Amino acid sequence: MNLKSTLWTLAFAVAAVSCSDELEEGGGTGTGNEENGEGVYVTVNVSSNVGPTTKAGEEGGGDLEDSDVESAVNNVNIFLIPSTKTTKMISNDLSIVNGAAETPIASGYTTDLLPATGSIEHHDAVATVKLSVPELDAWYHVVTVANAGKLGFTTLGQLRDYLQTTAWSGTNKYDEDGNGARNFVMTTHQMYQSDAGGSDLYVTAANSDPNHPAETTAYVERLAARIDMRFVSDLVGEKGASLTGNANMNDKVWITGYQVINQLVGGTYLLKRVTGNTASVTGSIESTDANKHPSPYLADEIWGNGNFNYVLDPWTRKKTYTAPGDDEDPTNFPTEINNSGAYYTGSNGSYTQTPVNTASINLAYTEKTGGLYLNHFHEGMNTEDFMKGFSSPVVDIKDISTTDNEYTPILYTQENTMDVEQQKNGFSTGVIFEAEYAPEHVSQYEETNGSVSSEVDYKKGSSFLVADYGRTGTTETGSGASSTITPLRKLSADMRTIAALGLKAGSDATIVKAMFNENGDWSSISKQADVEKVVTDMSGGPLVVAFKLYLQGKLEGISESNTFEKVKNYLTWDEFVKASHDAGNGIKYVPSDDDLANGIKASDGVEEKTATEVREDLMNNYNIAYYAAGTNGGKNYLKYWIKHEPNGTDNDPMGVMEFAIVRNNVYQLSVTGIRDLGDPLPFTPGKDDPDTPDKTKDIYIVIKLYVKEWVKRYNSDIIL
């Protein structure tokens, strides 16, 4: 098709989330005359309009006003797609934008923006761009892109399948003064009301008069999504909060930090796309293939009334992993995936297509290699830099709202969607909250009595440990739901206490003191059989078993030359710990309190390790969780996976798009309580696995989720 006419497009850019369906006429004028008389003027009203909705999936939890920075239009691309229609389309007719990929399109770009007189204060701008069109006296479909810089696509396929690697500029934080994220990329959003008017225009020679431009409307939405938070005041107050739904009301908890995990940063399709429908709320993406969408580009997200579909990002279909058999090794989760859809990359009119399944991308993002997810949830994520992030979050804890129905914007992220069976911890976007837990009492070995007391007052801001880490009980979320957690564990002041918990009640106190006191006195103990009985009666978890085997080995080594008198001084907790530090003894390393707090310095036969690595080893080797000292209590971590379309309660199966992030949505997280002690590490060895489904009954944070269309998506009553 030969491009034979020159078209000037006057773009009236109104980027306002909260505007109504009553559109401005946008009667701007051109800035120059075409000498050959072929210049044609068009006025385009560009609006990120939400208005009343009819589709459940598009509706969210209501509309949310944007900031001037979030809605500002700084540059504009306008694309005209030749239409085969002989009359104006209604807005939800998607046949033109879903036409042949090789269809030539006209494009124009400008940064020369002038103020306008639209009804939305601060959100209006006028742009004049020059395009070449195939013919006059013809209909064109309009697609508009704001704030992406000059694109210059020449075919419909390039426009639809372009991989937009950034959805905003600047630092990823909310700032109304423009010192954070800004210049938000926005693209055409097809309105779902059939009477709203389409993004189409009819171009004739008469439009060469700037006083008689062709007119139409283009609706746009942001490619970014936003995460907001609020806390109930007790969770961040000086006195702390009591546990929610827990019989122990004297323990206190505080939220002290957070980090968003699995933030997709690899890029997003320029134009939104969806799958066909499935009749089941648990239907897979594969099940939608039997009912392919006739016009997937710019179509609506559907959720409800027996019809459900998926929004697709460039990797959705490749985010797959199913552990073979009983394999629960988290290291087997994929570290990279390929693209599940073809996409274009390039700039300034030069674009290259990447076919399906030909481009590998690491799941974990690094500055050196790039990648799909910032803060990817996987074994190995507990790096020193990641741990430091909890003490310096994007928005400080003290600055996050504690007012009812008032939320603090935190940061932005890109679209992230998965198949219903692949909504897993290694793919879904979530938040890890750092908290401090102050128990009323801890268990502690008492040298005076040679026994463990469970009523020792907890010392504010001290560390503690939990052996044989686990919980039991049931939890539910939803309206009016409550939960009771029954701990299976004892909070212990130190490792010595955990070992002493393995003693049988009634064991000889003199022998116990000799074994466990720091300066145990063996002078009055002469009968080997009495010691053997205390050792034989010991039982417990991995640490107790290791200590027992050590003691039994020493006792079995007694001979005529190596008498009980020579051996008994080695039958102590301190000697066992010392022996574990010599790799030649075959005992897994038992860390000291200093090791757990500060890490291990390299020495003969001992590898240097950070404090986090020491704690990971303790979990792997002995199933003991160490809670590091904080200001008020032991530091612990609670995970929450962000929901897009919640499907019932936590007892119901995961639904289509239940855990997902979709463009132009605001996910509002209202954290209202903590049910129990969290995990000792953000990724806890032996417990966490990226293959774990997002939906679980094992929930210890209460969060109300609201999703707003900017669209809001409420994640409410979040109890950690």
pLDDT of residue 39: 55
Question: pTM of the entire structure?
Answer: 0.89
Mean pLDDT of 484-500: 78
Strands 373-374 and 40-47, sheet pairing: unpaired
- Is pLDDT above 80 for 81? yes
State pLDDT tens for residues 278-315.
Answer: 999 999 999 999 889 999 999 989 999 899 999 999 99
- Is pLDDT above 80 for 153? yes
State pLDDT tens for residues 178-220.
Answer: 999 999 999 988 655 444 445 788 888 887 776 777 676 677 8
State pLDDT tens for residues 625-684.
Answer: 999 999 999 999 999 999 999 998 888 999 999 999 999 999 999 999 999 999 999 999
Tokens 């790096």 sit at which residue? 383
- Is pLDDT above 80 for 447? yes
pLDDT of residue 20: 27
Confidence of residue 160 (pLDDT cuts 50, 70, 90): very high
> Are 415 and 165 contacting, i.e. CB atoms less than 8 angstroms apart?
no
Confidence of residue 114 (pLDDT cuts 50, 70, 90): low
* Domain coordinates in residue numbering, the chain: 5-222, 228-241+253-265+378-437+637-719, 504-623
Q: Between 199 and 427, where is the model more confident?
A: 427
**How many Cα atoms sit within 13 Å of 317 on the Cβ side?**
15
For the domain 228-241+253-265+378-437+637-719, what is the CATH code? 2.60.40.3690
Q: Between 218 and 556, where is the model more confident?
A: 556
Mean pLDDT of 170-175: 96
- Is pLDDT above 90 for 401? yes
Q: Of 321, 273, 157, 152, nearest to 693 (Cα)?
A: 321
Confidence of residue 523 (pLDDT cuts 50, 70, 90): very high
- Is pLDDT above 70 for 47? no
Percentage, residues of the chain above pLDDT 90? 64
The mean pLDDT value of the chain amounts to 85
State pLDDT tens for residues 51-60.
Answer: 333 234 555 5
**Residue by residue, what is the 3-state secondary structure of 544-558?**
HHHHHHHHHHHHHCC
Element (H or E) spanning 703, and its range? strand 701-708
pLDDT of residue 661: 98
- Is pLDDT above 80 for 540? yes
CA end-to-end span of the chain, whole Å? 60
Element (H or E) spanning 106, and its range? strand 106-110
- Is pLDDT above 50 for 32? no
Q: Which of 87-96, 269-278, 650-659 has the lowest mean pLDDT?
A: 87-96
> Are 265 and 166 contacting, i.e. CB atoms less than 8 angstroms apart?
no
Q: Which of 258-272, 289-303, 607-621 has the lowest mean pLDDT?
A: 289-303
* Other beta carbons within 10 Å of 324: 6
Confidence of residue 76 (pLDDT cuts 50, 70, 90): confident
Tokens 């939960």 sit at which residue? 483
State pLDDT tens for residues 382-397.
Answer: 999 999 999 999 999 9
Q: Which of 90-99, 193-202, 359-368, 548-557 has the lowest mean pLDDT?
A: 193-202
State pLDDT tens for residues 697-710.
Answer: 677 778 777 765 67
Phi/psi of residue 457, each to 5°? -60, 135
pLDDT of residue 407: 96
Q: Which tokens go with 236? A: 């961040």
Report how far residue 586's alpha carbon sits from residue 252's, in angstroms, rounded to the nearest whole number: 40
Phi/psi of residue 416, each to 5°? -150, 110
Q: Which tokens go with 126? A: 């006028």
Confidence of residue 43 (pLDDT cuts 50, 70, 90): low
Region of residue 171 (phi > 0: left; psi between -120 and 50: alpha; otherwise: beta): beta
Report how far residue 609's alpha carbon sits from residue 614's, in angstroms, rounded to the nearest whole number: 6
- Is pLDDT above 60 for 470? no
Report how far residue 244's alpha carbon sits from residue 249's, in angstroms, rounded to the nearest whole number: 8
